[in-house]
Amino acid sequence: MASKTNIEWTQMTWNPITGCTKVSQGCKHCYAERMAKRLQAMGVKRYRNGFKLTLHEDLIELPFRWREPRLIFVNSMSDLFHEEVPLEFIQRVFKTMVKCPHHIFQILTKRSKRAKEISPALPWPANVWMGTSVEDSRVTSRIKDLQKIPAKIRFLSCEPLIGPLDNLPLDGIHWVIVGGESGPGARPMRIEWVDSILTQCRKKRVHFFFKQWGGVRKDLTGRILHGRTYNEMPSRNGNAALPVGKKSKKIIRLDQQAAAPSSRAS
């Protein structure tokens, strides 16, 4: 199944797998679990198993049907590298992505160890961006796994950001997304944590995307940081670098000015 999405850093979701199991604190209030159970209760056939891991063979080739180039989040309702997903199935998902060079596919996993281990058995075309979730400092080893995966674009999703991440190893990382938790029971995100990541990204010339403050009502808190939005992302032709030289220095200077206490959004 595929659908348009409100996720700010993508355009479409494609879910050849649904359902998952929790692996770390970032999973505590899993949106996919909440949504899968809701859809099951509504009688949606695709979700008859609720949040139990389910492979959808009939959706593996779905992106072939989309002629217009799209930015596609792969498995927003699961984790492609879940231990119960057979390697052969993952290879078929990759085969589709290889055959659709007009689309950009964004894969996000918390199973970075498995992704790293099986990465030699997978093709890594430029249109496949590979990311891992890093919600706090307990799971930064995922970044080391990601750095060993030969994707052209590697990214971090620091959402839900539930603790400081002051020493991110950003070598070989091209994009960082930051967001606070949203929905019932949302844990708070501190501006100091966000600023620290922004500064680290600027130093390493890594694209920075601020997704949301989050909270129980994320529509009320928005996504303004220091009076502006941060929507940076790698270019679709695979150019991973931020502008170098004078332009880059200017960006850092403007951020520093924006980070002055008087201009803070919260």
- Candidates 78, 96, 157, 221; binder of ligand SF4 (CB under 6 A) is 78
Compare residues 30 and 191 and give the one whose CB is closer to ligand SF4: 30
Compare residues 33 and 255 and give the one whose CB is closer to ligand SF4: 33
Q: Is the peptide bond before 160 cis (omega within 30 degrees of 0)?
A: yes
Is residue 227 a contact partner of residue 263, using CB atoms and an 8 Å limit?
Answer: yes
**Number of Cβ within a 10 Å radius of residue 202:** 19
Compare residues 80 and 173 and give the one whose CB is closer to ligand SF4: 80
Task: Identify residues 13-32 at the interface with ligand SF4 (CB under 6 A).
Answer: 20, 22-23, 26-27, 30, 32
Size of site (CB under 6 A) for ligand SF4: 11
Compare residues 78 and 200 and give the one whose CB is closer to ligand SF4: 78
Tell which residue, 259, 249, 140, 239, has the closest CA to residue 194. 259
Compare residues 26 and 179 and give the one whose CB is closer to ligand SF4: 26
110: contact with ligand SF4 by CB under 6 A: yes
- Min dist. Cβ of residue 218 to ligand SF4 (A): 17
Tokens found for residue 100: 């659709």
- Min dist. Cβ of residue 32 to ligand SF4 (A): 4
What string of DSSP letters covers 69-80?
Answer: --EEEETTTB-T
Pairing of the two strands 175-179 and 17-18: unpaired
Using CB under 6 A as the criterion, what x/- string covers residues 141-180 for binding ligand SF4? ----------------------------------------
- Min dist. Cβ of residue 111 to ligand SF4 (A): 7
Task: Give the interface with ligand SF4 as residue ranges (CB under 6 A).
Answer: 20, 22-23, 26-27, 30, 32-33, 78-79, 110
